[in-house]
Every structure is written in structure tokens, then in C-alpha cells.
Amino acid sequence: MPLTTVELSELTVHLHGPLSIGTGFARGLVNRTVVRGRDGLVFVPGSVLKGKVRSACEALARSRGIAECRAPHPQRMLGDRKTCLICQIFGAPGQGSDIHWQSARLTEEWVEALKPRLSGHATLGQTGTRTQVQLSRKRGLAAEAHLFTSEFAAEGLTFEARPGFNGRLRLTRMSLAEASPVYYELVLLLAGVKMVETLGGSASRGAGACRLDLPKTVIVNRQPLEVAQQLEYVEFLDPDLYREDQEAQT
């Protein structure tokens, strides 16, 4: 099957809790800082979005009996983008993905709200800090002399990626959907986006709660397809149906 161009015009991230996407570096009294762009504003890297959506897609594919790969261990992955839905969408060992994820930046409304009133002043209100203690899992107690301070993006922020993703996919049309084109790869990918409920680290400490919103349409070969219609066919993500349709279209 030939590669088909696919684009999601936008992807919106709503934070329901503080967000921790760390840089791995300290700053001043803060041991764990969050990522910022050149403009000094926090953002959600495209790689983070891709990773969380991939995990959600893998979980959904396993629940539907259509998963054959066991990431992140290369020896447990097929590495064949012709037969594995996950590898087709997200890539495989030695084979990069043809879908590119964009970083999500603060919306214009939030940028304006956070903009410093005086030139040269720091942007305030976009982050906060928490002082935490490292836990000893073996002992089930707090570790002595292991206090640290972490930075978090503030709860309530909204980010947008425009486009959410774009690139090329080998799409397998679902024969059960007769009225309008529905594709296995798109059904799995879009459902995975909707399944994401947390981003970043410290989820076990209550951080990263979020919602990802999709636009009404996804563009396939420059033609808009209704996202809601694709999602209606999640229950038909069946390995036997997928193989039959794939063989019929090759």
C-alpha cells in the first residue's frame, strides 16, 4: 500500500493538575526544573506527546488482541511496519516514524496573561514549586536527608500544537465502514490520543492530569474526514478483520 499524507490540524492540551516535564538540571534552589522555550515560556515537547500517545495505543491494541509488539524492548518488537499497526504509526527499531509530532505551546490567551508588564522582568505565574522527600520503596518510609524541590507548570494552563502531527502513513481501509473511509491506523491513533490522561513525571504524586482535545476533522490526502466517525469504529479493531482487509488491499 502506498504512503498517504495525514495531518491533524491542531491538538489542545488542558492541564487539570500541575505538570512536571523536567530538564534534568537544577536552577538556584530548585533541584528539578521544567522545560522552557527560548521565549522563557513552558511548553509540552512533541516527543512527550508522541510517547504518551504510543503507550495509550499499545494498551488499546493489547486489549483488542491486535498488538504484536512489546515496546520498549527491541528484541520483543516485530520491527515490521508492513504488518504491525504500532510500528507503522510510531516507528520501529532502525526505522523512524513518518509521522512528526509538534510541540504544544501556550495559547495566545495564556501568553498575553503571563506577559511581563515591564521589559526585562521574568514571566510569573506559569510555574510553582513543591518541596518533596524521596521515598525508600524497600522500607516504605521517607529517606533520610533526601529533601528536594521540584518545579511544576501551573494547573489550568492550556497548550496548542498546530499542527498536532503530520506526515505519511500506510492506511488500511476498514471494509465494514461503507459510507465513508475509515482506517485502522487512524482509529487506533485517534483513540490513543483521547485515552491520554496524564503527561510528564510525578503522576504517582498527583501531577500531570490533563485532557487532550482533537479537532473535528483529520486531513487525509487533503480531504477532511470526521474524527468522530473514525472513533466510532474502535470496537472493530480486530486482528482477523485487520489481516483480511490488509491482504485484500495489497
Q: Domain spans of the chain?
A: 4-22+35-112+156-248
Q: Tens digit of pLDDT for each residue in 157-166? A: 999 999 999 9
pLDDT of 87 reads: 83
The confidence band for 60, taking pLDDT boundaries of 50, 70 and 90, is very high
Tell me the per-residue pLDDT of 173-192, one tens digit each, with 9 for 90 and over.
999 987 789 999 999 999 99
- Residue 53 parent element (H or E): helix 46-63
Question: Is the bond preceding 181 in cis, omega lying within 30 degrees of 0?
Answer: no
Q: Does the pTM exceed 0.75?
A: yes
Give the Cα separation of 232 and 238 in Å (integer): 14
Percent of the chain's residues with pLDDT above 90:
47
Identify the pLDDT of residue 106.
95
Alpha-carbon span 36 to 49, nearest angstrom: 16
The stretch 116-143 carries a mean pLDDT of 63
Query: Exposed (0-12), middle (13-18) or buried (19+): which is 218, by Cβ within 10 Å?
Result: buried
Rounded Cα distance, 28 and 13, in Å: 29
Note the pLDDT tens digit of each residue in 77-122: 655 545 678 888 888 777 778 999 999 999 999 998 887 664 555 5
Residue 58: how many CB atoms within 10 A of its CB?
20
Measure the CA angle with vertex 51, ends 50 and 56; round to 5°.
95
In the sheet that holds 11-15, the strands lie side by side as 43-44, 104-106, 158-161, 11-15, 210-213
